[in-house]
Amino acid sequence: MNKLLPYFIIFLFPIFSSCQNNLDLKEKEYKINKSNEDWREILTPLEYHVLRNAGTEKPYTGLYDKHFKKGVYSCKGCGEVLYKSENKYNSNCGWPSFDDAIANKIEYGVDYKIGYPRIELKCKSCGSHLGHMFNDGPKHTTGKRHCINSIALNFKPI
Ligand SMILES: [Zn+2]
């Protein structure tokens, strides 16, 4: 057994370190990296709560819930353009809903905050929390609903 011990350690070390990386998402390096203090300086308290602490704005209160103008939606944290108005639809769920995002702009994760797994959507550039993805979107397109907090987005008309 003693002879095998070093092999166990060598084998297990990468498993432990990869688990740690998955659990400790706040330490992950993004293209845009800021300290919590820096985020607090550029975001309002509610924006910080949603974007950096994965909070949720109250339903039917957001600026873009019933907003259907032509344009693009960018991340409130870093300005990266994430969604197009052509993917926005009226889901009546109380938050802006999109059937898809612009390719390679979103990071997909899983959270268990309310007791069951949900797919969390984050900005791939800065790691800011945007919302969640559900499988009850329009069946004639993707079947997905990206349920996004208005406060996590900025709209720019085109
Ligand atoms: Zn961002």
Backbone angles phi, psi at 123, to 5 degrees: -70, 125
pLDDT value of residue 14: 46
| Residue 108 and residue 133 in contact, taking contact as beta carbons nearer than 8 Å | yes
pLDDT tens, 85-133? 999 999 999 999 999 999 999 999 999 988 999 999 999 999 999 999 9
pLDDT value of residue 12: 47
Instruction: Compute, in angstroms, the gap from residue 124 CA to the centroid of ligand 1.
Output: 7
Instruction: Compute, in angstroms, the gap from residue 89 CA to the centroid of ligand 1.
Output: 22
What CA–CA distance (Å, rounded) separates 151 from 38? 18
Q: Token pair 């268990």 is at which residue?
A: 112
Provide the H-helix boundaries in 31-141: 36-42, 45-53
Instruction: Compute, in angstroms, the gap from residue 139 CA to the centroid of ligand 1.
Output: 28
Segments forming the whole domain that contains residue 46:
5-157
pLDDT tens, 14-59? 444 444 444 455 567 899 999 999 999 999 999 999 999 999 999 9
Instruction: Compute, in angstroms, the gap from residue 136 CA to the centroid of ligand 1.
Output: 25
Active-site choice (78, 123, 126, 147): 147
pLDDT value of residue 144: 98
CATH number where 13 lies: 2.170.150.20
Q: Is 78 a catalytic residue?
A: no
Instruction: Compute, in angstroms, the gap from residue 102 CA to the centroid of ligand 1.
Output: 13
Number of domains observed in the structure of the chain: 1
Residue 19 host element (H or E): helix 5-23
What residues sit around ligand 1, an ion, with C-beta below 5 angstroms?
Answer: 75, 77-78, 80, 123, 125-126, 128
Mean pLDDT throughout 61-77?
97
